[in-house]
Chains A and B, each alone.
Chain A
Amino acid sequence: MKNMDEVQRVGEVIEASTTDFVAQCYELYQSPPLGSLVKTRDLPLELYGIVYGAATTSLEPGRRPIARGKEEASEEEIYRSSPQLLKLLKSEFSALVVGHRQGDKLYHYLPPKPARIHGFVYLCGPEEVKEFSQSFDFLNILINAHLPVSTEELVAACLRQMSQVYEDRRAFLVTAGKELALLLSGNLNQLKAILGRIKG
């Protein structure tokens, strides 16, 4: 098992279900990018998730922030003059569970149990992303999930993120594209939308 300190800790699970989990960031606005691969531990399992959404809201659901910048010169000034703001706001992100690891083996399907509340959430490093993206079986979970964010956006963001760890980005994207072409054989428009978003 990899040393957890080597990878970046980005938050803590505050809500979990079989298919996804929500984590709160330790720092405001420090949620991992859309589509990135994160993991949380529930020994002996490690759960992998793809970040599908992030939000920054008021700590209290009923209390909305109000505009404060009228008298300030810059945006930073707002936070400087009202340091309590950082304590009144929170950033959260949601991740779709796409696989898990047990022992040395990676499985690209749902784990038997959801994540634990207060489990730490880490952003996976390049080696781990590479290892995970050896198989594209997780794409199927992404495509079939019902999420507030559109599937095309999520899949494209995820593949863009993953491709960054590869030297030959294009080759990775072509292989992924081919996999998608098979998965989305009946939905040409969706395929076109995704390919259009990853070709760049």
Chain B
Amino acid sequence: MTQQNENRRLGIVVSGSLNKGLEVRLDSSASVEDMAVGRYVTIEGQMRRFFGMITDVSLGVIDQKLTVTPPDVSDPFIAEVLAGTSTYGTLHVLPMLTIGGDAVSLIEGPQPVKTVPSHFSAVNVASQQDVELVFGSEDERKFYIGTPLDMETKICLNLEELVKRSNGIFGKSGTGKTFLTRLLLIGMLQKGTAANLVFDMHSEYGWEGRSEEGRKVKALKQLFPEKVAVFTLDEESSRRRRVSTDFVVRIGYDEIEPEDIGLLRQTLNLTEASVQAVYQLAREFGDRRWIEVTLGLEDGDETRQLLTRLSIHDSTYRNLRRGLETIRRLPFLLPHAPDNPVKRILEYLDRGMNVVLEFGRYTDITAYILVANLITRRIHSQYRERMEKAIGEDIAQPRPLVITIEEAHKFLNPEVASQTIFGTIAREMRKYNVTLLVIDQRPSGIDDEVMSQIGTKITCLLDNDKDIDSVLAGVSGRSELKSVLSRLESRQQALIFGHAVPMPVVIRTREYGSAESYKDFIPSEQIGKAEKDIEELWE
């Protein structure tokens, strides 16, 4: 062990502060080019060990003249002599945790760092054991999500902790958000920590999706057929893709409430006055009938009189009417739905199933916002009731529910976050066992208040400054993490920080998509069985 540490020695701490991180001077035996931001190091202080992350690598010279008149480094001898003496590399290390040597700290595990190691403490590359000590190993609550850079150690997320708060997955398009989400959902299914409701805009989570290379990738229902129900808005699309669906969602006009329209103001291009008019119409005709009646209004004196009575301006009416027509064109909306999708979803959730709602062809944001909001609002009120009942009657609390939404900035932007149910859930629903899994590529579009409530953030590469700032707002060691974040590789790498991990961590995402990888999630005979079932179904 000591021998190993000797070999992995990087350098010594030469200066620094808790706030700004430590400067580590590299030994001449350690090459700057072998370093990488995001890698872990341990620092051997006198009393305790520190665990930190490399956040910057820089070059130093002992004498500024060297930069003006560089020596003849074409001579290997001179180059070798100068390396590590006159010219040297420095690392910027952000200390994150301390690992005490005494018995108490062994039980309590790593603690957040509150001081810095003393001068000239030795800095080593963190060993597998160190990383394991910090992130724990896979067990019934912890799910293996990936490995740290250049290491084989498993980084595990504590899913039980994770689902206690709302979480976010961010990243530019094409950086692997979908894969990460799939992994997390599988983790939650595997560990059974929460029920999931996924609003699956691009139909990727329920049944087969495709990787960027065009390879088919299995999704939840193929891996856990007994635990997942696929609901669809677009039966045809599902059938074409040979998805075995459990329920076709049809929504009646009577389900749409004025608040739902308010939320669609931007996407339907409605004016503020139109939204007000909706409330007036709803008051006039009743919450359940107003859309049907409004859509049925014909141009004529009667309508004009009605509008005058409600003091709705003609242009406002036209504006609203145009918006409602857009909604009416959505094929899954019927004047009267044969079944109540919310009830069904709740039934499934109550049975311990996880529900994926596929949108099929209806990937436009109007449909997504309308449906997601409508369903979630009702589920939210149900959960609220149950939770209150559970508290009042001292019975078992409802199982935690995680609602996954994509394109989250459309729901949670500052203009609508205060009105939508998702804003409410993000802010307070933790208490009612409902949390969000927010997936987005423009986190800067999400309301600050909501962002600040997100417990664990998993972010792939982001390169827009605003997005990076909004993701990292309020995190200690922000500027350091910023440099790490903007240098992630564009695929299969993510930075995780927040509630569910003891310290920010850059991971190489766990392999997902090969036959081998599926085996790790479930026993192999189950894979065969599921596929066979499906084949039979379509014969």
Asked whether A174 and B62 contact (CB < 8 A) given A182-B85, A191-B86, the answer is no
Interfacial chain A residues near B302, Cβ < 8 Å: none
Do A199 and B78 touch across chains, with their CB atoms under 8 A apart? Answer: yes
Name the CB-closest residue of B to A173.
Answer: B77
Assess A186 versus B63: contact at CB under 8 Å? Given A178-B28, A192-B71.
yes
| Neighbour of A188 across the interface among B28, B63, B84, CB < 8 A | B63
Q: Please determine whether B63 and A177 come into contact, CB atoms closer than 8 angstroms.
A: no
- Contact call B66/A174, Cβ cutoff below 8 A: no
Q: A185 to B61: give the CA distance in the assembly, Å.
A: 9
Query: Is A68 interfacial (CB 8 A cutoff)?
Result: no
Overall SS of chain A's interface: helix
Query: Are the C-beta atoms of A195 and B78 separated by less than 8 Å?
Result: yes
Closest chain-B Cβ to A99's Cβ sits at a distance in Å of: 23
Q: Assess whether A185 is in contact with B63, with CB atoms less than 8 Å apart.
A: yes
Which residues of B sit under 8 angstroms from A181, Cβ to Cβ?
62, 81-82, 85-86
| Binding site secondary structure of chain B | loop
A192 to B86, CA, bound (A): 11
Does B213 sit within 8 A of A, measured CB to CB? no
Binary A-proximity of B56-79 (CB < 8 A = 1, otherwise 0): 000000110110010100010110
Nearest CB of A to B25, in Å: 12
Residues of B in contact, count (CB < 8 Å):
16
Interface string of A159-200 (1 = CB under 8 A from B): 000000000001001100110111001101001100100010
B80 lies within 8 A of chain A by Cβ:
yes
B60 to chain A, nearest CB (A): 12
Give the nearest-CB partner of B66 in chain A.
Answer: A188
Interface extent on A, as a size class? Answer: 10 to 19
Quick one: closest B residue to A199, CB to CB?
Answer: B77
Across the interface, do A174 and B63 meet the contact criterion of CB distance under 8 Å?
A: no
Contacts of A186 in B (CB 8 A): 63
Task: Give the residue of A178, A185, A188 whose beta carbon is less than 8 angstroms from that of B81.
Answer: A178
Distance of A93 from chain B, by nearest CB (Å): 30
Q: By the criterion CB–CB under 8 Å, are B62 and A177 in contact?
A: no
In the complex where A173-B77, A192-B71, A199-B78 touch, is A178 in contact with B65 (Cβ < 8 A)?
no
Q: Are the CB atoms of A188 and B65 closer together than 8 Å?
A: yes
Shortest distance from the beta carbon of B90 to any chain A beta carbon, whole Å: 16
Q: Which of A178, A192, A199 is B85 in contact with, Cβ under 8 Å? A: A178
Q: Is the CB of B85 within 8 A of A195?
A: no
When C-beta atoms are compared, the residue in chain B nearest to A180 turns out to be: B81
Q: Across the interface, do A185 and B62 meet the contact criterion of CB distance under 8 Å?
A: yes
Known: A185-B63, A188-B63, A188-B66. A195 touches B84 (CB 8 A): no
User: Which of chain B's residues 82-125 have a Cβ closer than 8 Å to chain A?
Assistant: 82, 84-86
Closest to B75 in A: A199
When chains A and B are docked, how far (Å) is the Cα of A195 from the Cα of B82? 10
Contact assessment for B65 and A177 in the assembled complex, using a CB-CB cutoff below 8 Å: no
With both chains docked as a complex, state the minimum distance between the C-beta of A85 and any C-beta of chain B, in angstroms.
Answer: 44
* Shortest distance between the CB of B71 and any CB in chain A (Å): 6
Pair B86/A185 contact, Cβ less than 8 Å? yes
CB neighbours (8 Å) of B65 from chain A are 188
A170 CB contacts on chain B under 8 angstroms: 77
User: Which of A178, A185, A191 lies in contact with B84, CB distance below 8 A?
Assistant: A178
A residues bordering B, Cβ < 8 Å?
170, 173-174, 177-178, 180-182, 185-186, 188, 191-192, 195, 199
8 shortest interchain CB distances as A-B pairs: A177-B81, A181-B85, A199-B77, A185-B62, A181-B86, A178-B85, A188-B65, A174-B80
Can you name 14 extra interface pairs (CB under 8 A) apart from A178-B28, A188-B65? A170-B77, A174-B80, A174-B81, A177-B77, A177-B80, A177-B81, A177-B85, A178-B84, A181-B86, A185-B86, A186-B63, A188-B71, A195-B77, A195-B81
